[in-house]
Amino acid sequence: MVELGTAQNTMAMLQKHNFTAQKKFGQNFLIDPRVLERIVSAAEIGEEDCVLEIGPGLGTMTQYLAERAGRVIAVEIDKNLIPILEENLSPYGNVTLINADILKLDIAKLAEEENGGRPFKVVANLPYYITTPIIMGLFESRVPLKSITVMVQKEVADRMQVGPGTKDYGALSLAVQYYAKPEIVANVPPNCFIPRPNVDSAVIRLTRYEEPPVQVEDERRMFALIRAAFNQRRKTLVNALNNAPGLGISKEQAKAALEKIGLPPTIRGEALTLEQFARLSREL
């Protein structure tokens, strides 16, 4: 078996199969065993776990996961990687390979068929251009999940865990924190990948809440308010809500609702906590 988590072995594998990393799929292969070890230990994988790996690439992290998990389901969009994956993962009887686009896959059905409806742990070195749609898709579709441990662009990881009043705070921070507890477990420089990305990366673990930390009758409505607030973040919240198409909120309604929850009419959306957005949503 070829241990893939080194630059030398990864280069040899790419040359052997005459494979070039595809920019359109955001392919950057991890070549640092310490980082791989860190991801797998942060995800707390044990033999009772079924892991959903998104974008296994050459199978570098899949090998680490297969050593520890009961089962691994690896979903790879690039059909040219499937023969390489089959070769590299042939020693493992507990890995299922699926050639599909994760954004189009019925993951709830997959959990039912492959894991008896029990929650997955998701582990991934995500293509940076679709990080947010993948993570939000997993949360919003109510797929049974214990946690998501992913390599993402450092800037995105920072955004997921910050609070009000910081420049990185936004709709993504609030959405992630509604569904999960975020924690950055490692920062990863560009030289840990082939090819080297142009940005720093980070590994973040999102531990799914059993119950959201705030109560709202209508989640979609609350997130529509949040999006409106940050689409025009330099405006006051009253103006941002009033300008948002489809919300139908007048300035008077917005001011009255803010007053009821004890906030001034001049406040901007970036100053509100998740709890305050939930209260505002209930008032409106």
| pLDDT over threshold 80, residue 182 | yes
Higher pLDDT, 129 or 152: 152
| pLDDT over threshold 80, residue 21 | no
Q: Are strands 95-99 and 71-76 parallel, antiparallel or unpaired?
A: parallel
What digits encode the pLDDT tens for the residues 112-131? 998 888 999 999 988 888 88
The pLDDT-based confidence of 82 (bands split at 50, 70, 90) is: very high
| pLDDT over threshold 70, residue 180 | yes
The pLDDT-based confidence of 233 (bands split at 50, 70, 90) is: confident
| pLDDT over threshold 90, residue 155 | yes
What digits encode the pLDDT tens for the residues 205-215? 999 999 999 99
Q: Which pLDDT score, from 0 to 100, does residue 119 have?
A: 93
The pLDDT-based confidence of 274 (bands split at 50, 70, 90) is: very high
The pLDDT-based confidence of 23 (bands split at 50, 70, 90) is: confident
Quote the mean pLDDT of the chain: 92
- Give the integer Cα–Cα distance in Å for 131 and 25: 12
Q: Which pLDDT score, from 0 to 100, does residue 2 have?
A: 65
Q: Which pLDDT score, from 0 to 100, does residue 1 have?
A: 59
3-state secondary structure the chain: CCCCCCHHHHHHHHHHCCCCCCHHHCCCEECCHHHHHHHHHHCCCCCCCEEEEECCCCCHHHHHHHHHCCEEEEEECCHHHHHHHHHHCCCCCCEEEEECCHHHCCHHHHHHHHHCCCCEEEEEECCHHHHHHHHHHHHHCCCCEEEEEEEEEHHHHHHHHCCCCCCCCCHHHHHHHHHEEEEEEEEECHHHEECCCCCCEEEEEEEECCCCCCCCCCHHHHHHHHHHHHHCCCCCHHHHHHHCCCCCCCHHHHHHHHHHCCCCCCCCHHHCCHHHHHHHHHHC
| pLDDT over threshold 80, residue 244 | yes
**CA dist list (Å): 221 to 177, 231, 248, 249, 269:** 17, 15, 12, 12, 15
| pLDDT over threshold 80, residue 222 | yes
**Domains in the chain with CATH codes:** 7-208 (3.40.50.150), 219-283 (1.10.8.100)
Q: Which pLDDT score, from 0 to 100, does residue 175 have?
A: 94
What digits encode the pLDDT tens for the residues 126-143? 888 888 999 998 998 888
